[in-house]
Amino acid sequence: MIYKTILIMKTKKLNLGIVGGGSKSWIGHVHRIAARYDDQYEIVAGVFSRNVKSSTEFGRKIGVSKERCYSNYKQMANEEAKRKDGINVVSIMTPPSSHQIIAETFIDKNIHVISDKPFAGNLEQAKKLYKKIKFNKKIKYALTHNYSAYPMVREAKVLVEKGKIGKVEYVNVEYVQDWSEGKNLTSKNAKKNLKWKLDSKIVGASAVLNEIGTHAYHLASYISGLKGKTIFADIKQVSKKIKMDDNAQVMINFTNGAKGMFWTSVMAKGGVYGLKIRIFGSKGSIEWVQNDPGYLKFNPSRGAVKLLERGFHNAELSKKFSRIKFGHPEGYLDAFANIYREFATSIKSKTKQRNFYPNEDEGLETAKFINACKISSRKKRWVKI
């Protein structure tokens, strides 16, 4: 990947359309804030829900004109493509299995795409989408694997690239959540609380892996610069009451021979957004924890442990991705906004330059990883990714 200083261009804002992320969607709110954070995008069109009435009501509420609140995404792609002031970019934040078909509809109209993860519902969809993106030279694609956009994660990536921890030997990542949110989930109330996450046709290949495993695998590859080669996975339903794969333990062999351990769960009681990664190399190790995102722990095998702080003189690179002075907390919204800012810069630059943001290459990798985990877990053996 080539790195370039990210400049905020003073040119016209990009016209942004939105699919999904309606009034009750938390991530919809995050996308809209991230898009507005650096004044690079103007939200001008959308279909925010499958329910036309509530979609239009919501669109009007956030300032979209009535004629540009559409009934469905196909109509939006068609109508916007005809307009002189039509959207340049669409953001997709619908449930996983619809990502591919919606993205392809806009790609066919030469509209750039920002999509939330997973890249697609399953590997078959991912391959089709990947081909479509690579085939169309007029569009760019960004995937909001937002954790890799945190300033100190990027600092970590470059630190590894510069060889500060030597050759990477072990990667250990865990991402656990507690979807019960303190409630006693039963087979009766599960549907009300977990909605489409229980429906494999909507959530795709695996609930736990598509929803949060993608983030963990992407983060491990992003910082280490390595791709998984073979994996041994055990995907389980730990909860006795709800039918959903909610836990995955995966052993990974990486391309350079490094070993990886990976745990992801959505039923880890009290595990509120526990994302943590440790990478060990021949000369030392690094550690980053999302709950304390402004710091990167760097343990050289010889010498004292260093705590690198975002925006401070020992973490120069992180300044490029910081909007707030060091010492003050920054986080999730800022990381998300980094992807929106970088994608705007990339679209406006008209070059192949993509800076740091994740795109279809990472998307296909995560889909291959999940597919291999499913096969490994079923056959109880190592499989190639």
Ligand X SMILES: NC(=O)c1ccc[n+]([C@@H]2O[C@H](COP(=O)([O-])OP(=O)(O)OC[C@H]3O[C@@H](n4cnc5c(N)ncnc54)[C@H](O)[C@@H]3O)[C@@H](O)[C@H]2O)c1
Where on the chain is the footprint of ligand X (CB under 6 A)? 19-22, 24-25, 27-28, 47-50, 73, 93-96, 98, 116-117, 144, 146, 211
CB nearer ligand X, residue 48 or residue 280: 48
Instruction: Collect all residues with Cβ–Cβ distance below 8 Å to 215 and sequence separation of at least 6.
Output: 117, 145, 147, 175, 275
CB crowding 28-66: b at 16 or more within 10 Å, else e: bebbbebbbbbebbbbbbbbbbeeeeebbebbeeeebee
Residue with the shortest CB distance to ligand X: 22
Residue 150 identity? Y
**Smallest separation, CB 144 to ligand X (Å):** 5
Which element (helix H / strand E) includes 156? helix 151-161
What is the chain's alpha carbon radius of gyration, rounded to the nearest angstrom? Answer: 21
**Smallest separation, CB 211 to ligand X (Å):** 5
**Smallest separation, CB 317 to ligand X (Å):** 23
**Smallest separation, CB 17 to ligand X (Å):** 11
CB nearer ligand X, residue 144 or residue 322: 144
**Smallest separation, CB 164 to ligand X (Å):** 28
**Smallest separation, CB 138 to ligand X (Å):** 24
CB nearer ligand X, residue 144 or residue 224: 144
CB-CB contact of 306 with 315 (8 Å): no
Pairing of strands 89-93, 112-115: parallel
CB-CB contact of 231 with 252 (8 Å): yes
CB nearer ligand X, residue 146 or residue 253: 146
Q: DSSP letters of 59-111? A: HHHTT--GGGB-SSHHHHHHHHHH-TT--SEEEEES-GGGHHHHHHHHHTTT-
CB nearer ligand X, residue 48 or residue 357: 48
3-state DSSP assignment of residue 239: coil
CB nearer ligand X, residue 253 or residue 338: 338
